[in-house]
Structures are given as C-alpha cells and as structure tokens.
Structure 1
Amino acid sequence: MSQPAAIDAVMRTLADPTRRAVFERVVGAAEITVGELTRGSGVTQGAISQHLKSLKQAGLVAERPEGRNVYYRAEPKGLEPLVDWMSHYGVFWRERFDNLRALLKEMDP
C-alpha cells in the first residue's frame, strides 16, 4: 500500500467511533476474541466482526486462529502512516512554540 493510500485507509478506518472503540479494546488486550469484544459493548457480534475486518484491511490488527476461536491483536506498524503524517506537523508546532517562547522571554525578561 502506498503512503497516501495507507494514511487514507487508517484515517477512514479510525474515523468511525465504534470501530475506534473496538480498536482501543484490542490495543488494551494482548489478544482478544470477537466474543470477548462483543460482551458489554452493546454491539452485535456481526458488527464487531465487520469492524475487525476493516481494522485488519487497514493493517491495524492481526488475527491468529486457534481451534474455533480467532484471536485479534493490535498491529503497531499499522499506525506508522498516521505517525509519519503527524510528525510532519510536529515540526510546524515545535517551531511555533519556539517562537512563542522567544516572544514571551522578550516581553518578560
């Protein structure tokens, strides 16, 4: 997946609040099944499975089948396009904060 396509996929996938909540639960567990994700979520098992499919296609989760269960875990490399994109803007903000710091020192030596 090219970088622009990768960032688009990650942002589109995480834009959905329910999917983002599923992802956060996966991140908080070493591994977790669809059944475990469904319990207490207020979302059907079918919907959880669809959200996991989207997360997997975006490279944000990986799966490991074992018997009748499939275990999901977060895939840290899946967030790299987002981190790379944000780091570009981090430079912008660091420069602005440095300028603000210098201005404040001038105003109140």
Structure 2
Amino acid sequence: MTTLHHEHPVHDHIHGPACGHPEVPHGDHVDYAHDGHMHRLHSDHYDECEPAGHVAHQNHGHRHGDGCGHPSVPHGDHVDYLHDGHRHAEHDGHWDDH
C-alpha cells in the first residue's frame, strides 16, 4: 500500500494530541481525521494521507458498527473504524485495511 502526496491547501489548524480530531496511527506517523479525510504533517504543511489500492484485512471476524468498541471516523462517503493501529472500512462483504 502506498501513500499519495497531495498537499492540503490552506490549513491553519495545528493537529496534535489535544486538537479534538481523532488520531490514527499509520505506519511511522500519525494521521488526523478531519472533515472526512486524513491529514498528515509533512514539513511545513499537511498532506491528504490516503491509501492507494485495495487491501483486504484477512481473517477479520469482528463486525464493526455502533457499540463495537472501536472509534468510528467519517471518511469520505463511508465510516472507518480504528482497530489495532489501522483503519477498517467495509467493502463487498469484508473489511479493507486503510
């Protein structure tokens, strides 16, 4: 899975542990869920941090939803669930890793 480098234009908000946006561990950095997309600090600006490709989470028997115990994060036209350091999104009867 690769991460595209798309700079988020004009972002005055500074993300951090107390900024009010969910922190999402993502490899060697932390993304912040903000307005339905993910932001990643990069040098002196924020990037839109989105995965490329389709990676199914294998052997995931847990069903995410209201009350499942994992934080939900709005993401574009769907909801991701933060689980074990990554995001899960429902897709065609399985869960994708974001």
TM-score by length of 1: 0.23
Structure with the higher fraction of residues in helix conformation: 1
Larger CA Rg, structure 1 vs 2: 1
Alignment TM-score, normalising by the size of structure 2: 0.24
Higher strand share: 2
